[in-house]
Structure 1
Amino acid sequence: MKSLFKVLLAFSLLLSMTACTAESKPDKFEAGVYQSTQTGHHGEIVVETTFTNERIEQVKIVKNGDTMMISEPAAEAICANVVKYQTSEVDAVSGATLSSNAMMRGISDCIKQAEGIEDATMPEAEHLTKEGERYDIVIVGAGISGITAALAAATEEDNQTESDLKILIIEEMPFIGGSFIVSGAGIFNPYGTEDHKNGKLDIIDEDTFIEYLNYRNEGDPLKLTSEALQRKVYQGIDPAEKMLSNAGMPFTWYDIIECEVMDVTFPKSSNHALADVFAFTKTYSSLEEEFVAQHGYGSTADICGKYLETALQSKSNITVKLNTEATHLLMENDNVIGVQVKETDYLKNTVTEYDIKSDKVILATGSPNLNSEIIAKYDPSFATAYPFSEAGQNGDGIVMMQEAGLNPVIQGYGGMCYNGTSLQYGMEDGLALYTLGYPVLNTDGNRYYDESITAPYDTGKYTRAQKDNTAYIIFDKNCEFLNGNYLGSYAGVLLEGENLYDYMVRKGFAVKADTLEELAIQIGLEPEKLETVISDWNKAVDGELSDDLMAAPEYAFSVKEGPYYAEKIHALSIESYISLRTLEGSTQLIREDGTAINNLYGCGTLIVSNLFYGTYFNYGGGLTTSLSSGYIAGKEVSDLLK
């Protein structure tokens, strides 16, 4: 009996201990619904996360201030993967890194609010292979030049009837359009508006257009450009625009650009990235209403991208693969016969590699602005600028050719380089503002270029030559940017109850002081020197002193009334003109020995130095030449296959 009692007692104690253990097991989360607001690429992203005591039950993006067509694929993948793998540390979506990071920061913050425990990890992607595919033409890159090349190859000479060719566009990003959809520039069409065509204004002829391109090249000192290709680009602009219009993307004339140096006028048509153009058209309004109804707002980049999608969908012989990166060129007997690709499925967490063979390959991979090794090797002076590009400008086309042993001719220098505050492309990390007409001082307190007339896209080339690629813009309370509740040219969202530069002071991009002496101390300059420089500046603006650097005092502003501000700036490279040489008058790429590379062609900024280099062409110059060179490449390749 005693033995039985002992057994029962032990069993009772065991049950008691088990119960205590079960009761004392802590919850992983404090159940509930939590929200977190984070700053994305262009605006606020609000994440809402629902928890039970045991798991992350649901993640939603309840407000998305970023471009929908760029950030929405990231939102879908991240929300699904966080729930699937029970961790906020999931893979960012290529091409939407800033939006992805903002969403993951928000989810992590929600977990902290729920006093959560993160003990799970996302597994590495499963690597798969599959059978290859076959097309007549493969185009690498879905920016404006790649899309235009595809449409040109997909249609007959009338730019409407479909050809018999099967065309594939591959794009490593989850969206199409590249820089085109976020650019504020337009397309120059030298053929002109109706006023030009009716004789009221002079049409810009081919020779004048080429003269202007070469003027921007400073006379083409390195003899890099191809006059034959420049002429083809001139001839291709108008039909390229008409082709896009026929495919569902109309263009609207909205501006005339004056070139005072050469006394020529270039009409400019909209690329649909400007809201003020389409606010007056039925097409924009209806599309905007559709986006607002579906998403709560209508982004101009989304609308521009929608037009491009419509254009591509109008052709049954064009296939588009997103999240698909070209990793290698396929070679056979010294001929390019296709590309090897890596296709990422963020929802399935898989990466699939396979070959795509084709008769012709067109590289539309953009400039190498984000590839520090290429920039440092071929344009060291440009390497001191901070890269400030949209994702994708990685020099992939150049790298693939080098790895295939094709020895391409890499040429050109310079590019589009602004002064700005940012070290990263995105609102939270900078604004990329340039305050024109105010004095700019390097870290020694000296001015170093003409602030009165230097074009914004040329300012950076002077700043990048300064010590530490750093300078300061000095201005006072009368600066126009202090008199409006708006963020600068790259952020595009409203501030409430705070002017622009007070926001910048709060964020650490600028400093503010009641006197110049106090301002000088804050930025590390000698007070007496700063006061002297600003005094001389004001005298030059007022016409009391001759200033060798200030050619147009009428475009400059005095700095006389506190409080004073100093914006810390750097040279920001938007686009590099390091690019690939083509066969004379052609888009076919060549080797260092001058021989053509069989079946391989290029377009867009990948071949821009054949047209211009060194200094930016003008607002819309990159879009114009990309549009037309894509059209030329598509027609050149399709004609050969027909």
Structure 2
Amino acid sequence: MKKRYLFILVTVLAVTACSSFRSGPKTEPAAEITTMAAFHAEMSGCQTCHADGSKVTVSDSENHENEQCVSCHGGYEKMANAALEFDPHTSHLGDINCTTCHKGHDAPQFYCNNCHSFNIEAMPFADVPKKAAWDRDWNQEAIQKAIAAGPVEKTDVVVVGAGSTGFNAALTAERKGAKIILFEKAPFTGGNSMLAAGGINAVGTPQQAKKGIKDSVDWFVEDTMKGGRYKNDEKLVRIMAEESADAVKWLESLGVNLDGLKRSGGARVQRTHAPANGASAGPQIIQTLRKVAKREHLDTRLNSRVEKLVLNDNREVVGVVVHGKHSGYYMVAADAVVLATGGYGMNKEMIAWYRPTFAKMTSSNNITATGDGIIMAKEIGASMTDIDWVQAHPTVGKDSRILISETVRGVGAIMVNTDGKRFVNELTTRDRASDAILKQKEGYAWLVFDEQLIAKKKMVRGYEHLGMLKKADTVEGLAKMTGMSALPETIKAYNAYQSTGKDLAFGRSDMPLNLTKPPFYAVRVAPGIHHTMGGVAIDPDSEVLDLQSWPIPGLYAAGEVTGGVHGFNRLGGNAIADTVVFGRRAGAHAAEYALKK
């Protein structure tokens, strides 16, 4: 199916209109327009994009340039085009920088295809020769020169990585009175958190009380320890459980809706809090954190990769070396640093080294999940824990990198093999579900559900939009379409179990929906790399530990860059809980440490 990207005409019309009120000297018409920069310069000079056409300086974040884009073309709401089969301006990535995809002096990059496989035609200036990526390598010589030159600026706390962990750490530290710089290597914020679908696990919330759900911190801890095969650090797990309700309260205070309540695999009760409208939790959390950070003028710098942790002779953290897209290498002095860089699920070399059996497996991760924080921490002698434990999520869309949220099963979908037969309790832990799928004759499975689930789970419409769903008006029609000959019999049996509340086949305890309302849907799924449970070793205060298990003064870490919280296997809903609880703890302790110096 072809998707057309009808943007050139919009660009020409908008820029032509814009040029009528732009001022400044015009350049001589170019013989041939080759880049977007040349296209704009022909009309109004370099100041069309840059602040001063005579002396072009660009910040790493490219904020001014993006403001210029919006001033002429309008924001994403204006650029949206409902007539398109696929509209990149209504992406789940939200209101991100235009320069993420559109480049002034380089070939455009359709960022969506880092995860998807859309056939996008006629992207403006697509014939421009592509330049080498600014962040293609780590220049050790340049790093050492930056250290030798000394810091160009000073702050109290540096936070590395602007996903949920980083934002929560930075906002918490700032509210403690610390001066913060938040660095993000990507052209927009969000990290893996932007892709999180399910929600945040929490115990003792008003949402649970309203539904009469009995739960406890001890149950939360027991479920998490059992899911991690008792390899977790129980002290960290208990902290996450005890502070989970406050994490939900904190997010709600910022403006996140978490009134929906679902059950994820491995949990004994409904504990996963998500948006009430059934939308994915991650994008809403990140969009809210972005707005709060902007409102509070949090110093957030994009296209800025931290590449070195700098220590003094006493082995204390005193700053970082940053590689900026436009500014190059420079050192920032800081009294404390928080690593919030995420895991290494997209670093093929690290996966092959630590978990070679997963080396050829697809990944649901953001392309930024390359283990930077782990690499930097190891360089200065930090201890690692559980580093080779990698989780395969059982339901990544087959032949794609799109995660089918665990809450789809939690809400009521069943999982069947290529014959249409159930083969596992759909609410078992991710590792066991993945193992069960891989043992099936084709190594993949189908998730099957009906219109009732679509009504409850808004995100599923997104899977349909991406062309991932098979759809039929009858169960028999769906069975014929997918080759699942046993599906009608399987659904009949499951509906009988659901009506009595007893799953005699696999012991599924929570069956909120039957499968009776057409149309009926199926989506192919297979295991894919989803979470790296191991990483930097931390103590309960989120301090990073050295090889002798002593804290490295001034260095903190939280989220997927760390190990110990999830053990051998992470439960669905615990990732966001980890990022919020320990992100806030890391930010608070880093601020307290820095302000005492």
The answer, yes or no, to whether TM exceeds 0.5 is yes
Question: Which runs of 5 or more structure 1 residues have no equivalent in the other structure?
Answer: 1-35, 112-117, 157-162, 279-298, 345-349, 504-511, 521-529
5 Å-filtered alignment, 1:173-184, equals 173-184=186-197
Q: Residue 177 and residue 542 in structure 1: after superposition, are their counterparts in 2 closer, same or farther (change >3 A)?
A: closer
Q: What is aligned with 1:611?
A: 565
Distance in 1 between residues matched to 2:226 and 2:463, nearest whole Å: 37
CA deviation after TM superposition for structure 1 residue 101, in Å: 9.3
Task: Give 1:473's match in structure 2, choosing from 443, 446, 456.
Answer: 446
Separation in structure 1 between the aligned mates of residue 505 and residue 117 of structure 2, nearest angstrom: 44
Change (3 A) 1:481 1:453: same
Are 2:416 and 1:439 aligned? yes
Indicate yes or no: 2:166 matched with 1:211.
no
- Select 1:340's aligned residue among 296, 321, 338: 321
**Pairing 1:411–2:387 present:** yes
In 2, are the aligned partners of 1:385 and 1:464 still within 8 Å (CA)? no
Matches of 2:32 and 2:264 in 1, distance apart? 66
Count how many residue pairs are aligned between Structure 1 and Structure 2: 508
Identify if the C-alpha distance between structure 1 residues 635 and 416 changes in structure 2 by more than 3 Å, giving closer, same or farther. Answer: farther
Is the contact between residue 336 and residue 599 of structure 1 (CA under 8 Å) also seen in structure 2?
yes
> In structure 2, do the counterparts of structure 1 residues 549 and 371 end up closer, same or farther at CA, with 3 Å as the change threshold?
farther
The CA distance in 1 between the partners of 2:524 and 2:468, in whole Å, is 17
Which residue is 1:632 aligned to? 585
Aligned to 1:574: 530
Q: Mark the CA change 1:77 to 1:588 in structure 2 (over 3 Å): closer, same or farther.
A: closer
CA shift, 1:137, in A, is 0.9
Contact 1:486–1:492 at 8 Å: present in 2 too? no
Q: Following the alignment from structure 1 to structure 2, what is the Cα–Cα distance between the partners of residues 392 and 239?
A: 29
Letter of the structure 1 residue corresponding to residue 416 of structure 2: P
- Counterpart for residue 62 of structure 2: none
For residue 21 of structure 2, what is the aligned residue in structure 1? none
Answer yes or no: is the 8 Å Cα contact 1:137–1:168 preserved in 2. yes
Where do 5+ consecutive residues of structure 2 fail to align? 14-29, 41-68, 74-78, 82-86, 136-141, 498-502
One-letter amino acid matched to 2:159: I
Q: Equivalents in 2 of 1:484, 1:257: separation in Å?
A: 15
Q: Distance in 2 between matches of 1:123 and 1:453?
A: 47
CA distance in 2, matches of 1:410, 1:275: 35
Distance in 2 of aligned mates of 1:185 and 1:453: 14
**Identity over the aligned pairs, expressed in percent?**
17
Counterpart for residue 65 of structure 2:
none
1:32 is aligned to none
Does residue 308 of structure 1 match 2:289? yes
Instruction: Report the counterpart of residue 589 of structure 1 in structure 2.
Output: 544
Distance 1:615 1:101, change over 3 A: closer
Q: SS of the residue aligned with 1:107?
A: coil
Alpha carbons of 1:264 and 1:45: their partners in 2 closer, same or farther (altered >3 Å)? same
Question: Does residue 424 of structure 2 align to residue 450 of structure 1?
Answer: yes
* Aligned match of 1:106: 122
1:191 counterpart letter in structure 2: G
| Alignment correspondent of 1:168 | 181
CA distance in 2, matches of 1:168, 1:632: 17
Distance 1:542 1:277 in 2: 24
Provide, for residues 422-465 of structure 1, a one-character-per-residue CA deviation record: whole Å limited to 9, x for no partner.
434369xx999989435314xxx797941655467863343346
Alignment of 1:171-320 (within 5 A): 171-193=184-206, 196=209, 204-218=215-229, 220=230, 222=231, 224-227=232-235, 229-244=236-251, 249-252=254-257, 254-257=259-262, 266=271, 269-270=273-274, 274=275, 276=277, 304-315=285-296, 318-320=298-300
> What letter is aligned with 2:184?
E
- Tell me the residue number matched to 1:20: none
1:323–1:548 Cα change, 3 Å: same
Q: Where does residue 401 of structure 2 map in the other structure?
A: 425
Partner of 2:64: none
CA distance in structure 2 between the partners assigned to 1:490 and 1:558 by the alignment:
16
| Distance in structure 1 (CA, Å) of the matches to 2:424 and 2:525 | 16
The structure that is strand-richer by fraction is 1
Q: What is the 5 A alignment of 1:4-153?
A: 38=3, 46-48=7-9, 50=12, 54-55=32-33, 57=39, 63=81, 64-67=87-90, 70=93, 73=96, 75-76=98-99, 78-79=101-102, 81=104, 90=107, 92=109, 98=114, 105-107=121-123, 121=129, 132-153=152-173
How far apart are the structure 2 equivalents of 1:101 and 1:440?
Answer: 25
Distance 1:492 1:171 in 2: 27
- TM-score, structure 2 length as denominator? 0.67
Deviation at 1:169, TM superposition (A): 0.9
Q: Output the aligned Cα RMSD.
A: 5.2
Q: Closer, same or farther in 2 for the Cα pair 1:573/1:482, shift >3 Å?
A: farther
Task: State how far apart, in whole Å, the 1-side matches of 2:469 and 2:570 are.
Answer: 28
In structure 1, C-alpha distance between the alignment counterparts of 2:510 and 2:167, rounded to whole Å: 44
Partner SS state of residue 136, structure 1: strand
**Cα distance between partner residues in 1 of 2:532 and 2:469:** 30
- The DSSP-based 3-state class of the residue aligned with 1:473 is strand
Larger radius of gyration, structure 1 or 2? 1
Report if the CA contact (8 A) 2:424-2:436 is conserved.
Answer: no
Alignment partner for residue 574 of structure 2, among 608, 611, 621? 621
Task: Specify whether residues 566 and 254 from structure 1 end up closer, same or farther in structure 2 by C-alpha distance, changes over 3 A only.
Answer: closer
CA drift at 1:623: 0.7
Give the secondary-structure state (helix, strand or coil) at the position aligned to 2:414: coil
Q: Does 1:373 align with 2:326?
A: no
What is the DSSP-based 3-state SS (H/G/I as helix, E as strand, rest coil) of the residue aligned with 1:357?
Answer: strand
- Counterpart CA distance in 1 for 2:131 and 2:447 is 51
- Distance in 1 (CA, whole Å) between partners of 2:430 and 2:446 is 13
Task: Report deviation, 1:72.
Answer: 5.8
Q: Could you tell me how far apart the structure 1 residues matched to 2:387 and 2:257 are?
A: 35
Give secondary structure in 1 for the equivalent of 2:321: strand
Residue 173 of structure 1: CA displacement?
Answer: 2.0
Contact 2:200–2:574 (8 Å) recurs in 1: yes
Aligned AA (2:259): Y
- Residue 388 of structure 1: which of 364, 372, 379 is its match? 364
Cα distance in 1 between the residues matched to 2:429 and 2:439: 17
Q: 1:400 aligns with which of 376, 390, 402?
A: 376
CA 1:97–1:595 in structure 2 vs 1: closer, same or farther (change >3 Å)?
A: farther
1:325–1:342 CA contact under 8 A, matched in 2: yes
Q: Deviations over 1:12-49 (max 9, x none)?
A: xxxxxxxxxxxxxxxxxxxxxxxx9847xxxx775536
Q: 1:210 to 1:554 in 2, by over 3 A?
A: closer
**Local SS of the residue matching 1:492:** helix
Q: Residue 276 of structure 1: SS of its match in structure 2?
A: coil
Contact 1:486/1:500, CA 8 A, preserved across alignment: no
What is the Cα deviation at residue 308 of structure 1?
1.4
Q: Which amino acid aligns with 2:437?
A: T
| Greater displacement, 534-543 / 393-402 | 534-543
Deviation at 1:581? 1.9
Partner of 2:26: none
TM-score normalised to structure 1 length: 0.63
**3-state SS of 2:310 partner:** strand
Residue 501 (1) aligns with residue 501 (2): no
Aligned to 2:569, the other structure's residue is in SS state: coil
Residue in 1 that maps onto 2:20: none
The AA in structure 1 aligned to 2:174 is: A
Distance in 2 (alpha carbons) for counterparts of 1:275 and 1:634:
29
The range that moved more, 621-630 or 208-217, is: 208-217
